[in-house]
Structure 1
């Protein structure tokens, strides 16, 4: 919501909170001028927000008459958010405030293929332990956001035929976890939450400052598998059924039909350039590599075969992304996931093919870079998903009594 689009007829407590979330602390007079509401109405809605701790009194400012005027600001500490980025083999779990500042976190190597109930029971226990260690409990929490490494039907929060997650198909993740945590649970694909996190971190953290083209952003995760999240006009694009961005199963142009992907098809990008595929190719060359992190470790010691394979993987990914650049015309492509730690070796291959095969107009101002948030992009995005849901003006209006 921007100041110039405020309509006084629609300014409830939730919309007033949005004004304070997106800008500096304001006095009552400034809020009256911004909203067109009567001073008494602004005061009533501010009082309601203060009672629910969504707003706090900030430092006083000097009024035109010389007396300090009370100012009011969004209270990032009003509630906590539980956030989890669950990968195929590696998980990150965190507690954040309403500004996505991470207050506590934990990582663990837990295979997602051990099944939903075992994995989610571990997750619920980890959330409880992190809260206790930080001096909080579930009464302080407004919601939980979960990212899963497979297709998710966003409206229901249920995984749909996830290739890397046997036993998870249609499992009611929000209901199962919500019953144990007692808070709303939102679930999405892990790459979508990473895209949300990178976009949020860019605008609120500053690394997209002065670069509005980043409201058209492609986030590519290269870990065990490959996927991408799409930010269009500053909003996450999920597609009709939540399957947008599944580039890992686009056929590679020079595909070998003998290379079978875990999805059942042949020639998929993920089967050539994903972390698991790279590890298998490196092992076949005579150097043991169990997973994507082993690939990055071997790259760090300068193994020439690994350097060659990673750069070629970058080219194969770049070939798929070149078509997306011509179609979507993003302002930024951000590379994240374990294999992104390969740094310039991977990015060089991606850039080489994108700039060669995409239209000059589409690449004139295009940024191609590694994630600024790194491993935290997922938990930040999971928190953003919850925050935007809980603090939507309509949601606030239903819970705040004026």
Structure 2
């Protein structure tokens, strides 16, 4: 039997579905993407995903090790079943493994996108870079700050998943327990996701603009639909007071979540990724976040961790999904 040459990887997020062919070294050989429908039906989402997977399988030049899918939301890793994903509720209860293994005649593995991002960064991204530079990483916690906020843990080269594959949900830890805390899509008040995600930053900005209390802000000159997280970071870069205050509040919430991560999991590396992280990097806020979190450490050892941005960027979910395939296929990533 020929040795598998590529893994088919899928990254199914709240905004885009992407597929790729990835080799054992984590190199992306080909990729494609398609926007997800807003408020789409289950059938629409599944049709897009299956079409993209079919294209990837057809483009593979050699034997395929399997299909790995990184999905945005809680997923049971054995059956590949979605469980109440906050941003993709129409897919609740769907098993991708059951759908796609018969369709493609290939093994299918499914994992939470943030968990697999941690796995990808550990083996091919920031963790590998640190190891190559003589600073070995034992426990890496990855945080995606994008449409939502999620997290994943790679510990000594393996994923730490918990009893049902649901660890790492930093986005649904509480940063503001007061009655004034914004309600999250999960139903709780004051979650990190409801305060620091891209969706939350945009919503908070639109509410503040609509209040009429900030007539001098450049955000008031934009069409309502254009007041999103990207616009807020653009305005903050120009020192717009309203935008700066919104970003500061998001940073405070994120820092509280990361403090919980520091004390619960004692990572020696925290990696931030996602679109909001890109904005934080532009504003040079990662050193400030690092200082805030370390300042709350209960001991010096808790505070001895690296905080850095993703080395794999937008490809982190794809590379992590491929790393899962190689591991499951018996090929060490």
Question: TM-score w.r.t. structure 1 length?
Answer: 0.72
Q: Please state whether the residue corresponding to 1:263 is helix, strand or coil.
A: coil
2:192 and 2:309 map into 1 onto residues whose CA distance is 20
Shift of 1:306: 2.3
Shift in Å at residue 118 of structure 1? 2.2
Is contact 1:100-1:380 (8 Å) kept? Answer: yes
Q: Indicate conservation of the 8 Å contact 1:201/1:207, yes or no.
A: no
Residue pair 2:153, 2:168 contacting (<8 A) in 1 also: yes
How far apart, CA to CA, are the structure 2 residues paired with 1:175 and 1:377?
A: 25
Q: Tell me the secondary structure at the aligned position of residue 362 of structure 1.
A: coil
Q: Is the 8 A contact 1:213 1:332 kept in 2?
A: no
User: Within 5 A, what are the aligned runs for 1:2-401?
Assistant: 52-54=1-3, 78-111=4-37, 113-132=39-58, 134=59, 136=60, 140-202=63-125, 206-253=129-176, 255-257=178-180, 259-286=182-209, 287=219, 288=224, 289=226, 291-299=228-236, 303-344=240-281, 345=283, 346-363=285-302, 365-391=304-330
Task: Summarize the Cα distance change of 1:266–1:205 in structure 2 as closer, same or farther, 3 Å threshold.
Answer: closer
Partner residue of 2:215? none
Q: CA deviation at 1:102?
A: 0.4
What is the distance in 2 between the residues matched to 1:315 and 1:258? Answer: 13
Displacement, 1:356?
Answer: 1.4
CA RMSD of aligned residues (A): 2.5
Structure 1 pair 292–392 and aligned structure 2 pair: CA distance change class (3 A)? same
How many residue pairs get aligned? The number is 316
Cα distance between partner residues in 1 of 2:290 and 2:207: 27
Runs of 4+ more than 6 Å apart: none
Q: Does the Cα contact within 8 Å between 2:122 and 2:128 map onto a contact in 1? A: no
For 1:185 and 1:225, locate their aligned partners in 2 and report how far apart those are by CA, in whole Å. Answer: 25
Within 2, Cα distance between the matches of 1:171 and 1:246? 20
- Please say which of residues 310-319 and 216-225 is displaced more in the overlay: 310-319
Deviation, 1:93, is 1.7
Supply the distance in 2 between the matched residues of 1:343 and 1:190 (Cα, whole angstroms).
21
Higher radius of gyration, 1 or 2? 1
Rounded Cα–Cα distance in structure 2 between residues aligned with 1:203 and 1:339: 18
Aligned with 2:32: secondary structure?
strand
What CA distance in whole angstroms lies between the structure 2 residues aligned with 1:298 and 1:321? 25
- Post-superposition offset of 1:87: 0.9
8 Å Cα contact 1:314/1:349 also seen in 2: no
Deviation at 1:391, TM superposition (A): 1.9
Shift of 1:349: 4.6
Residues 144 and 232 from structure 1, CA distance in 2 versus in 1: closer, same or farther, beyond 3 angstroms?
same
Q: Is the contact made by 2:176 and 2:189 (CA closer than 8 Å) also made in structure 1?
A: no
Distance, in Å, in 2 between the alignment partners of 1:122 and 1:246 is: 27
> Per the alignment, in what secondary structure is the counterpart of residue 272 of structure 2?
strand
Cα offset for 1:163?
1.4
Which shifted more, 342-351 or 145-154? 342-351
In the TM superposition, residue 162 of structure 1 has moved relative to its aligned partner by 1.4
Unaligned segments of structure 1, at least 5 residues:
1-51, 55-77, 394-402
> Structure 2: 5+ residue runs without aligned partners?
210-218
* Alpha-carbon contact 2:126-2:271 (below 8 Å) kept: no
**Secondary structure of 1:103's match?**
strand
TM-score (norm 2): 0.86
**Aligned equivalents of 1:348 and 1:116: distance in 2?**
41
**SS in structure 1 at match of 2:301:** helix
Of 220-229 and 112-121, deviating more is: 112-121
